Structure 1
Amino acid sequence: MSTATQTTAPGTGADEELAAVSTESLAALLIAKERPPRPSALSASVTFGWRAMLKIKHVPEQLFDVTAFPIMMVLMYTYLFGGALAGSPQEYLQRLLPGILVMSIVMITMYTGVAVNTDIDKGVFDRFRTLPIWRPAVMVGYLLGDMLRYVLGSLVILAVGLILGFRPEGGALGVIAGIAVLIAFSFGFSWVWTMFGLMLRTEKSVMGVSMMVIFPLTFLSDIFVETSTMPGWLQAFVNNNPVTHVSSTVRGFMQGEWPGTELAWSLGWAAVLIAVFGPITMRLYNRK
């Protein structure tokens, strides 16, 4: 009994295929004749914004904070404080709903920092930094994706309020103007959380620090009661609180007024937040 071993003679089979690839032909394959154009800043930002939306598509539970949470807030505060502060829940709702709208959207801005920190932990940012794109596009994309979540949350709160009896005297234009100011402020405020998302080590740390900042800003404002009912030393903080300015602006538009001073303060705060925390965020991103 014998064992036969088959061998391939030199110059035949696989060796012939390898020999057919010359140095010149391999170079021609590796060297592109024309480099594709570099994407614009807007195109890159929109692409990363779309990426943020796809994450929501695959994990729809992320929408709980802009659906279930706002509904709970409106129902709880309306029927808990309405009778004591305004005589009836429906009457209190006319003042409360614009404030709850601001409070809910400002609170969910912290999830931008959580998402950034999660991607860093997974190593996704290491890939992003190698791409030939506008550097801030990654961060701007996060914020653009979250803006759609803010709009969705605003619509949910408004729908619940209308069902409960909220009637904005400013009509549709007043509601749209109020939501637009809130979204603009939330875009600027979100840069604070992107900074924390890059600075802190864990997702829980980002959420803990965010809540320590958000709770004083939202509760020490004019969302629930008039500032005139507060002690003088507290009014000094509340009247200069950016959340108070945004809440007063949204409430003014929805009540059919023109809150010019409060509008200027709200947009001014948004611009300051972007100007201060935007560069800090990008410096941390480049050095991370």
Structure 2
Amino acid sequence: MESVVSKQNNLKSTLVDILVMAKRNILKIKHNPDKLIDVTVIPIFFMVVFSYLFGGAIAGGVQAYLPIIVPGILIQTLVMSSSATGTQLREDLDTGVFDRFKSLPIVRIAPLAGLVVSDILRYIMAALFSIGTGYILGWRPEAGIGWLIVASLLAIFGACAISWVFALIGLVSKSSATISSVSTMVTMMMSFLSNAFVPTNTLPTFLQKVAEYNPVTYLVTAFKDLANHGQFTSSASMTIFIGILLVLIIAPITVKIYNRKI
């Protein structure tokens, strides 16, 4: 009985430590609001520019292009913002703040887990600004608000899973500038070689194959199926499968390297 109580207390203590570290990261955002540009200003900018610049050429008009571009910009924004996990982790390591954390009576995993948890707020903001801009431009989710929330939660889940990849990059890279360069290249390739901005049947045959197996394609398609048709299709199942697989493979490696570094 004492063992069970002890485990419960340890779990409670761990959760409290993680939430405290998450609050720390949120307060840093509060005092440095420029860190939110990638989840506020950028999705608005891309949504407006892409809609009016490519809408006529790709879909024959802005309104016809919105069902394509809104999910595309949302997913691209979430994938790009997930790289902030690695950047922030690298900056904390470079400034030596983790040396201070080691002297505190907290579990060792709390700073890393708190960073991942606090980024969920960024993903929510990215979804709100992307969807809100699309709504102002005239986009409407045909399946209703309930399914739109489900679709957004699935997209945020995908971003959380991808953030572990960037956390690993943050641990093994030598500077935050390296992470920014790598993340920009990776997110751009994943976004443009998918169905985020154009129908895949308009791509050359070899690029269609690349887009078909791109995780972003599964995520965008799953979002469209849920938000527009209220259907949980195979793309949604694949998104969950890939997300869980990423966490199961990447998270333990990240934690192991993290424990060695601190």
TM-score using structure 2 length: 0.92
User: Which of the numbers 25, 28, 53 marks the counterpart of 1:80?
Assistant: 53
Q: How does 1:117-266 map to 2 (within 5 A)?
A: 117-266=90-239
Between the aligned partners of 2:67 and 2:183, the Cα distance in structure 1 is 29
Between the aligned partners of 1:213 and 1:162, the Cα distance in structure 2 is 28
Between the aligned partners of 1:267 and 1:70, the Cα distance in structure 2 is 24
Query: Aligned letter for 2:260?
Result: R
* Residue matched to 1:21: none
User: Which of the numbers 69, 73, 94 marks the counterpart of 2:67?
Assistant: 94
Aligned length: 253
How far did 1:38 drift? 8.3
Between the aligned partners of 1:177 and 1:54, the Cα distance in structure 2 is 28
How far did 1:149 drift? 0.8
Once the two structures are superposed, residues 52-77 of structure 1 have per-residue CA deviations (whole angstroms, 9 ceiling, x without a partner) of 10001111111111111110010011
* Percent of paired sites with the same residue: 37
Gaps of 5+ in 2: 1-8
TM-score using structure 1 length: 0.84
3-state SS, counterpart of residue 194 of structure 2: coil
Q: 2:19 aligned with 1:61, yes or no? A: no
Query: Aligned letter for 2:241?
Result: G
* Residue matched to 1:275: 248
User: Which of the numbers 22, 43, 50 marks the counterpart of 2:16?
Assistant: 43
Between the aligned partners of 2:169 and 2:240, the Cα distance in structure 1 is 22
Query: Aligned letter for 2:161?
Result: G
Between the aligned partners of 2:56 and 2:204, the Cα distance in structure 1 is 23
Query: Aligned letter for 2:81?
Result: I
Check conservation: 1:109, 1:190, Cα contact below 8 A.
yes
Check conservation: 2:162, 2:243, Cα contact below 8 A.
yes
Check conservation: 2:141, 2:227, Cα contact below 8 A.
yes
Give the RMSD, CA atoms, in angstroms: 1.6
Check conservation: 1:189, 1:273, Cα contact below 8 A.
yes
How far did 1:127 drift? 2.2
Check conservation: 1:245, 1:262, Cα contact below 8 A.
yes
Give 1 or 2: higher helix fraction.
2
